[in-house]
Amino acid sequence: MAGTSATLRQASWQARAISAVLRTFKRRHTTIDRLGVAHVYVKSTRLIIRCLEPFIPYRRTGLRIHPAVGAPVPAEWITPLAAAPRHTMLFLHGGGYLMCSPHTHRTLTTFFARQLPTRVLVPHYRLAPENPFPAGLDDALACYRWLRAQGIPAREIVLAGDSAGGGLVLGMLLALRDAGEELPAAAAILSPWTDLAATGTSLITNTFSEVWFYGESVAIAAKLYLGSTPATHPLASPLYADLRGLPPLIIHASESEAVRDDSVRFAAKAHDAGVPVELKIWPGLPHVWQAFIPFLPEARQSLDEIVEFLKNPPRTMASA
C-alpha cells in the first residue's frame, strides 16, 4: 500500500519502561464481563482519571486555554499566543467512548496548538453508557457545524483524534460526506477504533503484547457504547463504510497493540477507495503512545510527522 511504512528497530528504553508500568494495571480488565460489573468499572475508572487529571504533565507556556463560549456542547479552546494560527483543529479525545475528557488529552492538544500552530477546539462530547451511540457523534458534528457557522472555511479545518476519538473522526467525515457538506482539509488519526464488531486478528494475537487492556475487553466496551445499534453500523464502525470521497488521512498505530488491525484494514480499504492515506506502524509501543510526549522520543517523532502532514496534506492519490 502506498504511504505504508514499518520499521524493525526496537522501541526506546523509555517506551519499554512505560509499558512495564502500564502492564501492572492491566489485570483489572480480565473479569469485567464475567462478573457483570462493566458499568461499575467504567464509573470507578472515570473517578480515578478525574483524580489524576491535575497531575497530567503538559506545557501551558505560550497558550491560552479557555472555555469555548457559545459552542453547542461543553468544550475548550487552546489558542497559541505568539504565532498566528494557520488552521483550526477539532480534536476528539479517546477513552473507549466511556471515559476521559479534554483535560486528559492536553499533552496532545497543546502540542498541536503550538506546533502547527492552530487553534484547537476540544469538545467534552457525551459519553456512554449513559449516552450511547450516536450521542457522541451528534456532538462532534454539532461542533464542526458550529465552526463552519463562525465563518471558518472547511479548507482551514483539520480533524484529529485518538482511539475511539479516531473512530469518531472517521464517523464524522462519513456523516458529513453523506449529508453533502464540505469536508475538512485533512485528518490525523492515532490508533483508531474502526471495528466495533471486534473481528481483527490482532485482538487475539496481541492480547498480551498490548499493555493497556486485553483484546476481549474491546467487544465489552463496544456493547456499552452501541446500545441497540448493530456493531457493523458504518458510522460507529467506519471499517464497514463506503470510504470514497474522504479527505487525506494519516494514521499511526503500534505493531504490538490489540487494535492494530483496525488501522491496517481501514487504511487498506481507504486506499482501495481512492482516499489519500498514509499509514505508519511503529514497533513495541503502547496504544496511543503519543500522549506520553513528555517522556517518549517516539511520541515526538510521530507527532512531528503528523504535523508536517497536516501542514501540507496530499492533493492526489499516491501511486500504489
Architecture of domain 4-311: 3-Layer(aba) Sandwich (3.40)
Give residue 320's identity as a one-letter amino acid code.
Answer: A
d(CA 217, CA 219): 6
280-299, pLDDT tens digit by residue? 999 999 999 999 999 899 99
d(CA 101, CA 108): 12
Give catalytic status of residue 305 as yes or no: no
**Confidence at residue 37, expressed as pLDDT on a 0 to 100 scale:** 55
H helical segments located in the chain: 13-23, 32-35, 38-52, 106-115, 135-149, 164-178, 202-205, 216-226, 260-272, 297-311
CB-CB neighbours of 77 under 10 Å: 20
Give catalytic status of residue 257 as yes or no: yes
Report the interhelical angle of 216-226 vs 38-52 (nearest 10°).
90
pTM of the model: 0.92
d(CA 96, CA 106): 17
74-129, pLDDT tens digit by residue? 999 999 998 788 889 999 999 999 999 999 999 999 999 999 999 999 999 999 99
**Confidence at residue 320, expressed as pLDDT on a 0 to 100 scale:** 35
d(CA 276, CA 271): 7
Query: Active-site residue among 257, 271, 278, 298?
Result: 257
**Confidence at residue 272, expressed as pLDDT on a 0 to 100 scale:** 98
Query: Active-site residue among 19, 163, 256, 263?
Result: 163
